[in-house]
Structure 1
Amino acid sequence: MIQVTCAIIIDSQERVLVTQRSKSMSLPLKWEFPGGKVEPDETPEACLIREIKEELDIEIQIKKALLNNIHIYPNITIQLIPFTCKHISGDILLKEHAEFKWLHGNELLALDWADADVPIVNYYLTNRWK
């Protein structure tokens, strides 16, 4: 099983950052919360900060860990480790993804999400005001 982090980055208007996987990535053009694979001897938190900087060129502050989701794809099993985060600085520069959007919670379910992210979206929407 591969550990993968993801960031639910929330801005001052309570919008959430979502990214679309590029055509060359696995699960092409599916939407996801940005993040990446945890390296050996790396904490999920350190991984997420590193991955967001590498993929989007922005700085984030981790606010809260959410429930993990284990998802079995046909060729890989991942443990998706989500965190709510705050955008601290920088302008988004896409280095791997095709597109990004800032969306309000009620807009999230309209996207074609990567399967592993769907329970994370639902959990966030159900628990975001708690």
Structure 2
Amino acid sequence: MIDDCPEPNVKIDAGLPTVLVAAIALIDVDGRVLIAQRPEGKAMAGLWEFPGGKVEEGELPEAALIRECKEELDIDITAACLAPFAFASHSYEKFHLLMPLYLCRKWEGLVRGMEGQAFRWVKIRDLGEYPMPPADDPLVAMLRDFL
């Protein structure tokens, strides 16, 4: 029954611009997930997140992740190794975030923080120890159930 559904955090017709951001859960051979810390000077600085970034006009989410992984982490991934997993839909004060999350278990190169950001390989059960943006919370729960 529809009356039993909890209120979502999404305001219908919130009048906010929608921002499309693609994110990636890189999973290593030990089942750990890579998270990166948002640097000082950026919104939500100090919080941990899945790597990725804004999808540019005319760009596919997969292409954005290939570009962002090279720019931010110095690794090469291919679209064939990206598996769509889930997405977040979350209203922040000034925009509405739509964020598809892809899983990836294969890449070339060693992960390096190219923009000076901290990163960690974390066991999925330990992700709760790292404060993350509100949009990431449901994705973490889905990853825990899946991995």
CA distance in 1, matches of 2:122, 2:116: 17
Partner residue in 2 for 1:50? 67
Contact 2:62 2:82 in 1 (8 A): no
Does 2:95 correspond to 1:76?
yes
Identity among equivalent pairs (%): 34
State the distance in 2 between where 1:60 and 1:109 align. Answer: 27
Whole-angstrom distance in 2 between the partners of 1:82 and 1:23: 24
Matches within 5 A, 1:40-119: 40-61=57-78, 62-96=81-115, 98-119=117-138
Q: CA deviation at 1:97?
A: 5.3
Q: Which amino acid letter does the alignment assign opposite residue 83 of structure 2?
A: K
1:38 aligns with 2:63: no
Matches of 2:116 and 2:42, distance apart in 1: 8
Contact 1:20–1:97 (8 Å) recurs in 2: no
The question of 1:20 aligning with 2:34 is answered no
Q: Aligned-residue CA RMSD in angstroms? A: 1.4
Residue type matched to 2:71 in 1? E
Shift of 1:2: 0.8
**Deviations 1:76-117 (Å, cap 9, x if unpaired)?**
211011000124222222133531000111111111011111
Asked whether the 8 Å contact 1:59–1:87 carries over to 2, the reply is: no
User: How far does the alpha carbon of each residue in 1:44-87 deviate from its partner, in whole angstroms, 9 at most, with x for none?
Assistant: 11111111111111123434111211111111211011000124
- Contact preservation (8 Å) 1:19, 1:97: no
- TM (norm. structure 2) is 0.81
How many residues were matched structurally? 128
> What is the one-letter code of the residue matched to 1:8?
A
Q: For the residues of structure 1 that align with 2:55 and 2:42, how far apart are their CA atoms?
A: 18
- Structure 2: 5+ residue runs without aligned partners? 1-17
SS across alignment from 2:24: strand
Structure 1 partner of 2:141: 122
Pick the structure with more strand per residue.
1
Could you list the runs of 5+ residues in structure 1 that have no partner in the other structure? none
Whose Rg is larger? 2
